[in-house]
Structures are given as C-alpha cells and as structure tokens.
A and B are shown apart, each in its own frame.
Chain A
Amino acid sequence: NAGVMQNPRHLVRRRGQEARLRCSPMKGHSHVYWYRQLPEEGLKFMVYLQKENIIDESGMPKERFSAEFPKEGPSILRIQQVVRGDSAAYFCASSPRGHENTEAFFGQGTRLTVV
C-alpha cells in the first residue's frame, strides 16, 4: 500500500506563472488536507477536502489559491500568478475518516521556489 504521493517533489516557477501541486492519497482514504510550511516555521493548515467537496478552506489565501479533489484522480493545489512569498514546502495529508484522533499520513511534500 503506497503512502501519500506528492508530485513534483521540487517545483521552480517564475513570478507570475502558475503552480500545480498534486497529491494522491493513500488507497482507501477520502479525506485530504493541505498544509504550507514556510522556512523555519511549523505547518499551517490550508484546506480540507473530501471527494468533490471542499469542507474547510479557512486557511487558504482568498486570492490566487484554489484546491480540488475530483472524483477521479489526485487532489490539486493550484497557485496562480505566484509571488516570491509563495515559496514554501506544501504538504498533503490523507486519512480514512474525518475523526479528530484518526492518524493523518503525510506525503513528502512539494518544495516550491519562486524566482
């Protein structure tokens, strides 16, 4: 059973370009969470999705950022018109249920660098 798969591992974008980050949850997991880790900081929650639904996006910047988790395929975090401040590691986690003490399994992250 493969773990949470994120790709690409490293992504370089110029200012103004779009970044697409992909996350395939563990098999059987229908709950996906995205977190952002700025350099030398902890992880900050961005968005929580179940299949085809956004459940909580309270941590997502209101502009330029969007997320989806379609019925088929991976979850996508999309950042439009990237700026230098978007440079960070973006982690995806998945869990089989939404219960608060269910373990969330993390991917290895995508490290986005905006130049």
Chain B
Amino acid sequence: GNSVTQMEGPVTLSEEAFLTINCTYTATGYPSLFWYVQYPGEGLQLLLKATKADDKGSNKGFEATYRKETTSFHLEKGSVQVSDSAVYFCALSDRNNAGNMLTFGGGTRLMVKP
C-alpha cells in the first residue's frame, strides 16, 4: 500500500534560518506529491505540488523536488519567518485510485522564533 513518512517534530528554528523537512514515500503506482500547511485552528492549505519525476514545486519561498530515485519530496526554505510557524504535511495521490484521495504523513510542527 501507499505510505508517507516525514521527520518528526517539532522543528524549532530562529528567524531567517534554513529549513528542511524530510519526506519519503512508498507508492504502488506513480503518485503526485503535495505539501500542505495547517495553521493553528485552521484546515489544510495546499502549499505546493509536483506531478512527475524531477518536477519542482514552489510557493511562498518554499520548494520541493520530486525525486523518484530516492522516493523523496523534501521541503526547503532558505529563510523562514515567524509567520511560517505551522504544521506541514507531506502527501501523495495515487493515480491508480479513483479520485484524488490523499495519503498523508504524520505532520511536522515548525516553530520559528524571532
């Protein structure tokens, strides 16, 4: 079956530090990959996505590259801000499934201190 593994948190960084959140996946098919962000008390918002190998998704300074050879989709940002504090979820969608059901990792809480 499909699964997503991401690094456990919390990750605590100072403002302007470099961020990496690791994500690896297992999929029976050829998935699309996503990063979602959840701010306190809110639902999930799509941060970025990639649909095929070597694609790079990017948004708001965040980037992630679809690495088929290492089955990874690590999230990076060069300089984090306090406003980036949230929980980040890596997810995949398997085109062998009907619809767009997502398999999520356990989430990584990021705390950015001023």
B28 within 8 A of A: no
* B98, A98: Cβ atoms closer than 8 Å: yes
**CB within 8 Å of B: which A85-114 residues:** 91, 93, 95, 97-109
**CB within 8 Å of A: which B12-50 residues:** 31-32, 36, 41-46, 49
B95 within 8 A of A: yes
Residues of A within 8 A of B49 (CB): 101, 103
A45 within 8 A of B: yes
Given the complex of chains A and B, what is the CA–CA distance between A42 and B75 in angstroms?
Answer: 17
**CB within 8 Å of B: which A51-103 residues:** 55-56, 91, 93, 95, 97-103
Given the complex of chains A and B, what is the CA–CA distance between A79 and B44 in angstroms?
Answer: 23
**CB within 8 Å of A: which B47-100 residues:** 49, 51, 89, 93-95, 97-100
* B99, A109: Cβ atoms closer than 8 Å: no
Residues of A within 8 A of B45 (CB): 106
Given A103-B49, A107-B43, check contact A42 B98 (CB 8 Å): no
Residues of B within 8 A of A6 (CB): 43
> Which positions in B face A, CB cutoff 8 Å?
4, 31-32, 36, 41-46, 49, 51, 89, 93-95, 97-107
Q: Can you name 18 A-B residue pairings with CB atoms under 8 Å?
A: A4-B43, A31-B99, A33-B99, A41-B106, A42-B105, A42-B107, A48-B98, A48-B101, A55-B99, A97-B100, A100-B32, A100-B95, A100-B100, A101-B95, A101-B100, A104-B46, A105-B46, A108-B42
